[in-house]
Amino acid sequence: MAGKIKQMIDAIITQRAKDNAMLVGVIKTKLLLKGIDPNKFNAQSVDDPAIIAKLEAVIKELK
């Protein structure tokens, strides 16, 4: 399977940025500093369980 990581990253950005373009960069940077480079994943990226688990933890922490 592929593409789940990109979907999760997009969902986080959409949820937090709420169409505010300025916030998109900030949220991408936050993900980067948590160890997930949002620019490294696309619709063809393999569903790496370790990255997915990391993103699930991020989603749980985000308000």
Residue 63 engages other proteins in binding (rule: CB under 8 A): yes
Q: Kindly tell me which residue out of 19, 21, 39, 49 binds other proteins, with binding defined by CB under 8 A.
A: 39
- CA-to-CA distance for 22 and 37, rounded, in angstroms? 18
Binding mask 2-31 for other proteins (x = CB under 8 A): --------------x---x-xx-xx-xxx-
Binding site for other proteins (CB under 8 A): 16, 20, 22-23, 25-26, 28-30, 32-35, 37, 39, 61-63
